Structure 1
Amino acid sequence: MSLKLMTLMLCVFGITTGEFVIAGILPDIAHDLVVSIPAAGLLVTAYAIGMIVGGPVMTALTARFARKPLIVALLVIVVVGNLASGLAPVYPVLFVARIVTALVTATFFANAIVIAASTAPEGKQASTVSKLVFGMNLSMMLGAPLGTFIGNNFGWRATFYAISAVCLLGLLLVLRFVPDVGGSTPGTSAVAELRVFGNPSLQLAIVITAVANMGLLIVFTYFAPLLTDLTGFAAGTVPVLLLLYGVGAAVGNFVGGWLSDRALMPSQVGLLGLLALGLVAMWAVSGNIVLTAVMVFLIGAMGFSVIPGMQTRVLNTASAAPTLAIAVNASAYQLAAALAGWLGGRVIDSGLGLKSVYLTSAAVTVLGILLSCYAWLRDRTAARPGAQEEAAGAGASSA
């Protein structure tokens, strides 16, 4: 693995630790800033809003910029945003700081993923993307547990200071090891890049990313209270459980990338089916500490196994503007996170209780399976011999 890819992985690790660590320090933030657990959960929504808005806009506007100075500027904003989060005196300031940090996140991810995929051998895009996504897995295996440990022992503010330091290190390594290359589409305007979204296959791929990931994100947003208040784990075990989840995510990421290189849509449908079953199983065993711990690992594996394939499908359907498409896809993921935080909070506040979060998550995942099946059917129909001629003939007849 090249130093360039390892550097980008470290940056992804730092940035996604800042996103995912909220699950471990959510109760501490709620207590210190005197807000409810559902209100603190909206910090996930704040980050998502920043990515949803910032991803497409920032990426479209910076499409022709040289990647290295662009990435450096984005990392500077991430460093400052995490410092501001740690210094936030009240909840609204923390809320705004999360949005500002997230505004540049999707653009960074998009550039990093396109760089990784563009250097991949033919037929190895998904597995190559999975190596970069491993930086996200590491944020769950190491970043989120360590961040939670730091928060539990030194206060949640120290967690954000540590994340800022990691991102600063990544910035320095980018300056040293990432080459100065041109923008993704020299000579092409942002408006021209937006035309790629007229492709129905790309539209469907992005919708699937949002819907199919929302189920797992509902559970992850309320991970700490689900494990402590519902199952009965001690608060001090949450970092260990986050580590277990991250190990599962890493395993699932690599296995999912390998499977997606061989059968993209069949793998996506099958893996989402396993995730839905896993969420139902977690509901069933939520009163058992040992079985819940096993399911934490399995849910992490099944949830992350679908990510490399989803990213690859977006790349395959948006060759004219891959960086912008990946940024919008990241925004779709964050839209799912925003809705997950909101929906999970509503389910809890409705009186159904924490346990019902698992069944809600499974139901949303089933919707993602149905959409994936539809996309798979469209692909098979389009690939059938004579399909293009039939479509052209139908168009002529309707005219």
Structure 2
Amino acid sequence: MSELPVVVIGAGPQGLAAAAHLVEREEDVVVVERGRGPAAAVSEWGHVRLFSSWPELTDAAARRVLEPTGWTAPAAGYPTGADWVSGYLAPLAEVLGERIRYATTVTGVARQGRDKVVDGGRRSQPFVVHTVDADGRESRLLARAVIDASGTWGLPNPAGADGFPALGEAAAAGAISYRIPADVSELAGSHVVVVGAGHSAAHAVLRLSELARRAPGTRVTWMLRRGSAANVFGGGAGDELPERAALGSRARKVIDDGVVDLVTGFRVAEFRQEADGLTVIAEDGRVVRGVGRMFALTGFRPDLQMLRELRTDLDPTLEAVAGIASEIDPNIHSCGSVGATGARELVQPERGFFIVGAKSYGRAPTFLALTGFEQVRSVAAHLAGDHEAADRRELRLPDTGVCGGSGDFDDSAGSCCAAPSTLQIGARPVVVG
């Protein structure tokens, strides 16, 4: 199998970085990307500005591969997704050239001639990557190893609070979006609801608050499933990523100013289409009426269907790689940041198969580009036989400044690391750490 390539699934930030590390180690690599160009998922949210700065958004091996072309790494600033693609990801993909196969979707990964059940001779067989191109032509690609960097962008979580679409959610699809809005001008004068507690929800709330300030009659409601807003606004001065802290501070301010209504403990159970718009009903019977548009920004989940014939070790709660689940589980009481992870933590029962990037985190919401770059550096070293480099940790992730997890879903007691204080936000007091 040594003559077969390493196949990387996905030409996003981590997939391209993995390819750069493998090329630098003179390993044969093929990248399979379902989009028609590099970083297709990033391009879909190209209007969103990242809270990581340029030095945190480029991989070391990728920089070394790019520099001979005359490319210079941006030294500072916070790019949008579109800037990230044009200023770094697209040039990197151009250098990788024909190693990338675009408009090709991976439909399955298996061992050649062995389904999931068969033990005999399993490890001696290469991987088979099943693909289909834009014209519907099927093919099979043999590989000595596979790195799944396909991400989670294609599977957003529903608005329904129990993980399944709420009653009427499919029928109301025309009024529900699962992406951060770009142009919100058409929503002027309407009632817009955002569901979610993460950074995507905060971005959407801020964009909509600008509309509410300039367009009278526009109403914005931010629904949180959890019973408290304690950790929603981030770690403030304790966050080592200043723009991430600023995002939370700005979100807090629009609520404090009364521009956005905050509703806590609202877990969507049902949508009803009525004359004045959508009616949203919570599990506890509360009702929000006259909704013109909802943005359900409740996170993502990994597509595991294509891995069904591989033997994988995934956490049953997060659907994350089992070896890192305890570090990233949002239910676990923890303070500060998670640790960097590499090949040792990402190893799977199928030797030579790795899940990296956002997909390795499953449903956990705390992934950073820096995390993925360290993962692929370690995995590439492992596949090249450099186990000393694979085991080495070359990254300390920035602290979030947030204490406690979402395990206290119904608890409003606040932070685990300091005595709680009461802060007036909008018309009601909430408890924050």
Normalised by the length of structure 2, the TM-score is 0.28
Q: Which of the two has greater helix per residue?
A: 1
Query: Greater relative contact order: 1 or 2 (C-alpha under 8 angstroms, separation 6 or more)?
Result: 1
| Structure index of larger Rg | 2
Normalised by the length of structure 1, the TM-score is 0.29
Q: Which of the two has greater strand per residue?
A: 2
